[in-house]
Amino acid sequence: MTHQDLSITAKLINGGVAGLVGVTCVFPMDLAKTRLQNQHGKAMYKGMIDCLMKTARAEGFFGMYRGAAVNLTLVTPEKAIKLAANDFFRQLLVEDGMQRNLKMEMLAGCGAGMCQVVVTCPMEMLKIQLQDAGRLAIHRQGSASAPSTSRSYTTGSASTHRRPSATLIAWELLHTQGLAGLYKGLGATLLRDIPFSIIYFPLFANLNNLGFNELAGKASFAHSFVSGCVAGSVAAVAVTPLDVLKTRIQTLKKGLGEDVYSGITDCARKLWIQEGPSAFMKGAGCRALVIAPLFGIAQGVYFFGIGERILKCFE
């Protein structure tokens, strides 16, 4: 195995470990974010804490981890692709010894964002249905007297009455809509992930560089962790409006009186008219709280070189 192969494998392991640890830590907040972004009109949840308390009360502790299995399965390839692609593009575009070039770093981030969408889009698609199922169940109880207009995930099959599972939803989507069903909201996902990567990667690289230690040859762990958290929060909050649109577009089952959207512009227009500009920032706090530790942990794993250590054991 060449040194190049070794470093790529180590990067993939680091990305995977970081993803698994991160998702386990922050998944309940991500669930709250999805539910807050999806509530229309009369608010069922006042905020993140309220949402988590009501979820735990109605669905138990593991109710807060609905959809986590999809994430834990797919977050490894997703994070691995994102981190490896960013490194690949950086090496390609930013030459050694060259003055830090913000444009090139942003281009590398853009490439990373485009590559990871292959996994991100279907993963988020399935995760959102599972995360939102509990909110819909409460919504339906609240409007039980009214005739329900809620569809099944695709064509109104019996799955409406079963607790949905990722495999069931994936199979139903593939069966009725083909691969396109799993990639619904691809445009919105790209619109969110590319700007995110363009902001995050250069911001992190430059913040991290401020703490560069000549002796160690890299910044300290604490500095990298904080840099990852800050860069992650800034990027997450900046792209929240696009995340709200993506969540709304990818939610297949709607509660009574909730809108169906034909695309990004239609969704943005209806959101602006019916719920006002503040609706575009729904779940921004949750997003910052989810993304900051996620990327902080990722940078920590990277800097401790966990992948390299694992590979050493197999030498």
Residue 152 domain flag:
no
Give the model's pLDDT for residue 151.
Answer: 47
> Left if phi > 0, otherwise alpha if psi is -120 to 50, otherwise beta: which for 305?
left
CB 280 within 8 A of CB 265: no
What is the tally of structural domains in the chain? 1
Give the model's pLDDT for residue 148.
Answer: 44
Query: How large is the average pLDDT for residues 163-181?
Result: 89
Kindly indicate the confidence band of residue 191, based on its pLDDT and cuts at 50, 70 and 90: very high
Residue 84 domain flag:
yes
From the DSSP assignment, how many helices (H) and strands (E) are in the chain?
12, 2
Mean pLDDT is lowest, of 77-86, 135-144, 190-199, 219-228, for 135-144
Note down the domain range covering 309. Answer: 1-137+165-313
Residue 149 domain flag:
no
Give the model's pLDDT for residue 263.
Answer: 92
CA 32 vs CA 132, 156, 299: distances in Å: 9, 26, 25
Residue 157 domain flag:
no
Residue 97 domain flag:
yes
How open is the CA angle 55-61-230, to the nearest 5 degrees? 80
Q: Which CATH number characterizes residue 272's domain?
A: 1.50.40.10
Residue 156 domain flag:
no
Nearest partner of 300 among 188, 222, 214, 245, judged by Cα: 222
Query: How large is the average pLDDT for residues 177-200?
Result: 91
Mean pLDDT is lowest, of 3-7, 190-194, 255-259, 310-314, for 3-7
Residue 282 domain flag:
yes
Instruction: Report which secondary-structure segment, H or E, holds 219.
Output: strand 218-219
Give the model's pLDDT for residue 67.
Answer: 92
Span 236-254, pLDDT tens digits: 999 999 999 999 999 998 8
Query: How large is the average pLDDT for residues 212-231?
Result: 84
Torsion of CA 283, 289, 295, 299, to 10 degrees: 170
Residue 231 domain flag:
yes
Query: How large is the average pLDDT for residues 73-86?
Result: 81
How open is the CA angle 27-112-237, to the nearest 5 degrees? 50
